[in-house]
Amino acid sequence: MDDGFTWCRQRSLWDQEWNSIAFSDESRFCLDMHDGRARVRRRRVMVWGAYGSRSPLIFIRGNMNAQRYIHEVLEPHLLPYLDTLADPTFQQDNA
């Protein structure tokens, strides 16, 4: 049986257990509407968040690298958030 399927089956009846799991992801959003008439550079914003429970949504200016991710996201935002969870598990997307 596939490892991912087994993992899902083992957790299919979880309820309160999910409150201690934090999944993370980041995404870039275009702030301007595209009217299809011209190719121009649009303003964008990048955000990071953890989901599965409540977490802060972090707005990231400019490009993100490993050092910025550690010092501007993980240390000041994720670690304090994980401290609010009982026996937390962090599932990172490996970006």
Report if pTM > 0.85.
Answer: no
- Give a yes or no: residue 79 inside a domain: yes
Quick check: helix, strand or coil at residue 93? coil
Q: Which residue has the tokens 């011209």?
A: 38
- Give a yes or no: residue 85 inside a domain: yes
Segment 50-76, tens digit of pLDDT: 776 677 788 888 888 889 989 998 999
Q: Which domain holds residue 81?
A: 21-91
- Give a yes or no: residue 32 inside a domain: yes
- Please check whether residue 46 is in contact with residue 60, taking contact to mean a CB–CB distance below 8 angstroms: yes
Segment 9-51, tens digit of pLDDT: 998 998 888 888 888 888 877 766 665 655 556 677 888 887 7
Structural domains of the chain, count: 1
- Please check whether residue 78 is in contact with residue 24, taking contact to mean a CB–CB distance below 8 angstroms: yes
